[in-house]
A and B are shown apart, each in its own frame.
Chain A
């Protein structure tokens, strides 16, 4: 064993080795509530599509049953994935971006994050447009706080998505 190896091993045994970070949460310092909003819009869109589907009648052909089931399954899957994406994006913002100073200034952050977790779970469990809209609305509130912490004004504006609902955008 090399001398350096012996030094390290001895130090480890003595418990005198500290930890130092050369780590990064890639991409560095890049956070944006837009992805969570997109995901919430997608959940709403999937609910709209599911509700637009006309179930095949009793005299439908096997192909019509297959196509209906296939369509519904895809919408459900995407709804499930994007509800989880809402949770993921907001968790990252909560854990990695928001700091004690932000919480001091916006003490409602914790409550809003918990609300996103709850509503996104409901978005998975149900096909309920009201809860999905509530999810989007809660994410909007977090987005507004996020831009406020950056010292950037934001505004809620109508999106160009088929959901025809709003999105919070920074006034850069």
Chain B
């Protein structure tokens, strides 16, 4: 598995940091040797649907991470599905490319 992966972003929940139809390059190994930090933008698995989502870590509660969209009015995030474990974090967004 390559450490770097590229994803196309569908939706506005991370605008303006990532626009709809933008791309994010993620590092899948970011959290192998260190723990996620508040403010990190991550690709994570939605705990209910398994769908990949891109969100920002807004708080850390013990071993769980609260994910929020920057654009809260258009975001389905930990307010709905609760905080997630580290296992659900696929990788940290390393670069944002393109978008509208």
Contact = CB atoms under 8 A, between A and B. Distances in A.
A92 interface: no
Given A4-B98, A5-B98, A24 B8 contact: no
Contact of A22 (B20, B95, B97): B20
A172 interface: no
Given A17-B23, A28-B76, A22 B5 contact: no
B6 A8 contact: yes
B1 to A, nearest CB: 12
A24 B75 contact: yes
A20 B69 contact: no
Contact of B43 (A16, A20, A24, A25): A20
A26 B54 contact: no
A152 interface: no
B66 to A, nearest CB: 15
Nearest to B72: A28
A16 B6 contact: yes
Contacts, number: 84
A99 B18 CA distance: 29
A157 interface: no
A5 B76 CA distance: 29
A7 interface: yes
B8 to A, nearest CB: 5
A20 B53 contact: yes
B14 to A, nearest CB: 5
B38 to A, nearest CB: 19
Interface string B33-46: 00000000001001
Given A8-B97, A17-B23, A99-B48, A23 B76 contact: yes
Most buried by A among B6, B51, B73, B98: B6
B97 A20 contact: no
Contacts of A99: 48
Contacts of B10: 19-23
A19 B11 contact: no
Contacts of B43: 20
